[in-house]
């Protein structure tokens, strides 16, 4: 068995493996390598385990040199999932060993694997992140009946308030404007617009963009990705003062109906911090919460890192960011966001 780095000649074989493996996600597709490299300036090391020239395991890896936060690896940065997909424990071990060699050679402190499914190989883990999954069995009618009464009321309220949901990649600009403003209000730097543009260009069959308008004004926007039997809710944003019109509920419901029509069996409502308000919001939609088995290769540190916005160390920076003028947050945000994967 051999471990090799992905080449252009093996990209189709990589994606074929992703399609056939039961524990991969849309984020394992090779196109994300180009999206992240071209928009963020990092170089990916996409590792393949080969047995008789057949792929038996993959490990998409990026090493980030962030300056203030040091050097570390992520699989996969800037998106919900990544990590190893492999046919056996032995394949996982070989991929982990190769990634460790890469990480140590560049002085990486650790590697974070954003697994959707648990590894067989034992590594330090955290249950800090959870995902909510909504089964679409029975169709929109049954899904609607399982919603909390408050959610059903908000969906009806949006309609009564004249909120209209539209779908199309041509609404990317509206999405980004609302998303940038929303993140500023939350005290979080925004990703570069180039990231989303490349994503749309790379995954035209997978990306769907929604916007909610009221009286001709965009008040919310949402990006989802559809792959195989799952619709992934990834990015969503609204204008704070227009939340009273329930645009979030209107967009979520439109995306659920579209996902079922596209043949999806599940809605992946996206990751949340355990016991957070975001997780509680998702429970009202009938989601089943599942712990995400994120694991860490600790290379030059002894503890699982705390590089996340819930860390109290970042509370002052978050408070200051909320006070920035919007135009300035859009200028300063992307260079900082690429260091906060």
Domain at 216, CATH number: 3.40.630.30
Which pLDDT belongs to residue 157?
Answer: 97
Same domain, 115 and 134: no
Q: Nearest-CA neighbor of 138 among 315, 265, 52, 314? A: 265
Tell me, yes or no, whether 166 lies in a domain: yes
Q: What is the pLDDT of residue 279?
A: 78
Per-residue model confidence (pLDDT) at position 189: 83
Q: Both 237 and 134 in a single domain?
A: yes
pLDDT tens profile 94-144: 999 999 999 999 999 999 999 999 999 999 998 888 999 999 999 999 999
Q: At what angle do helices 172-186 and 315-322 cross, to 10 degrees?
A: 120
83/215 same-domain check = no
Same domain, 156 and 199: yes
Check whether residue 69 and residue 164 sit in a common domain.
Answer: no
Sequence-separated (6 or more) residues with CB below 8 Å from residue 101: none
Residues 67 and 155 in one domain: no
Return the axis-axis angle of helices 172-186 and 326-337, rounded to nearest 10°: 90
Q: What is the mean pLDDT of residues 8-18?
A: 96
Q: What does the alpha-carbon distance between residue 78 and residue 38 come to, in Å, rounded to a whole number?
A: 13
Residues 175 and 215 in one domain: yes
Choice between 101 and 188, residue whose per-residue pLDDT is larger: 101
Within-domain flag for 333: no
By three-state DSSP, how is residue 274 classified? coil
User: Does 179 lie in the same domain as 48?
Assistant: no
Residue 154 domain flag: yes
Instruction: Read off the pLDDT of residues 322-340 as tens digits, 9 standing for 90 and up.
Output: 766 776 767 766 667 677 7
Contacts of 62 (CB under 8 A, 6+ apart): 36, 42, 43, 44, 45, 73, 74, 75, 76, 77, 341
pLDDT computed for residue 188 by the predictor: 82
* H runs (alpha helix) in the chain: 11-20, 31-40, 89-105, 139-146, 149-160, 172-186, 193-202, 247-261, 277-283, 315-322, 326-337
pLDDT digits (tens, 9 = 90+) for 31-66: 999 999 999 999 999 999 999 999 999 999 999 987
Residue 65 within a domain:
yes
Q: What is the mean pLDDT of the chain?
A: 91
Are both 253 and 210 inside the same structural domain?
yes
Q: Is residue 341 part of a domain?
A: no
Q: Is residue 53 part of a domain?
A: yes
Total domains in the chain come to 2
pLDDT at 308: 55
- pLDDT of the residue at 190: 84
Per-residue confidence (pLDDT) for residue 312, from 0 to 100: 57
- The answer to whether residue 311 scores a pLDDT higher than 60 is no
Q: Is 339 exposed, middle or buried (0-12, 13-18, 19+ CB in 10 A)?
A: middle
> For 153-175, what is the mean pLDDT?
97
Q: Are residues 284 and 140 in the same domain?
A: yes
In a domain, 311, yes or no: no
Using one digit for the tens of pLDDT, what is the confidence trace for 253-310? 999 999 999 999 999 998 888 777 777 788 889 888 889 999 999 998 888 886 655 5
Last residue of a domain, one of 123, 152, 177: 123
pLDDT top residue among 210 and 321? 210
The answer, yes or no, to whether residue 7 has pLDDT greater than 80, is yes
Q: What's residue 215's pLDDT? A: 96
User: What is the share, in percent, of the chain residues with pLDDT greater than 90?
Assistant: 75
Please tell me whether residues 272 and 175 are part of one structural domain. yes
The predicted pLDDT at position 42 comes to 93
**Both 54 and 31 in a single domain?**
yes
Decide which of 102, 123, 144 is a domain's last residue: 123
pLDDT band at 68 (very low <50, low <70, confident <90, very high): confident
Q: Domain span at residue 107?
A: 2-123
Domain limit, last residue, from 269, 291, 313:
291
- Residue 307 maps to a domain: no
Which has the closest alpha carbon to 120: 98, 95, 92?
Answer: 92
């Amino acid at each position: 068995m051999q471990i090799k780095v992905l080449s252009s000649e093996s990209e189709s074989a990589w994606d074929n493996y992703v399609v056939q493996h039961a524990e991969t996600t849309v984020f394992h597709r090779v196109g994300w390598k180009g999206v992240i490299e071209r928009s963020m300036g990092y170089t990916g090391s996409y590792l393949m385990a080969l047995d008789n020239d057949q792929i038996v395991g993959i490990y998409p890896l990026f090493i980030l040199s962030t300056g203030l936060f040091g050097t570390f690896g992520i699989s996969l940065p800037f998106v919900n999932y990544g990590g190893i997909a492999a046919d056996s424990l032995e394949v996982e071990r070989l991929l982990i060993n190769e990634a460790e060699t890469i990480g140590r050679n560049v002085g990486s402190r650790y590697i974070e694997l954003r697994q959707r499914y648990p590894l067989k190989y034992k590594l330090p883990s955290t249950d800090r992140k959870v995902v909510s999954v909504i089964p679409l069995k029975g169709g929109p009618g049954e899904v609607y009946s399982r919603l909390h009464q408050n959610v059903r009321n908000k969906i009806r309220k949006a309609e009564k308030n004249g909120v209209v949901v539209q779908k199309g990649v041509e609404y990317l600009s509206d999405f980004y404007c609302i998303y940038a403003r929303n993140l500023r209000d939350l005290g979080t730097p925004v990703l570069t617009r180039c990231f989303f543009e490349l994503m749309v260009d790379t995954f035209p069959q997978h990306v769907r963009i929604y916007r909610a308008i009221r009286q001709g004004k965009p008040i919310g926007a949402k990006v989802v990705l559809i792959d195989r039997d799952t619709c992934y809710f990834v990015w969503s944003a609204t204008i704070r003062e227009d939340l009273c019109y329930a645009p979030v509920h209107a967009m979520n419901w439109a995306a659920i109906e579209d996902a079922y029509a596209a043949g999806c069996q599940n809605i992946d409502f996206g990751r949340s911090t355990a016991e957070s308000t975001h997780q509680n919001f998702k429970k009202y939609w009938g989601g089943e919460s599942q712990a995400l088995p994120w694991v860490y290769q600790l290379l030059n540190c002894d503890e699982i890192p705390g590089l996340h916005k819930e860390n109290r160390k970042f509370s002052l920076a978050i408070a200051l960011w909320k006070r920035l003028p919007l135009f300035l947050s859009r200028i300063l945000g992307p260079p900082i966001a690429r260091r906060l994967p």
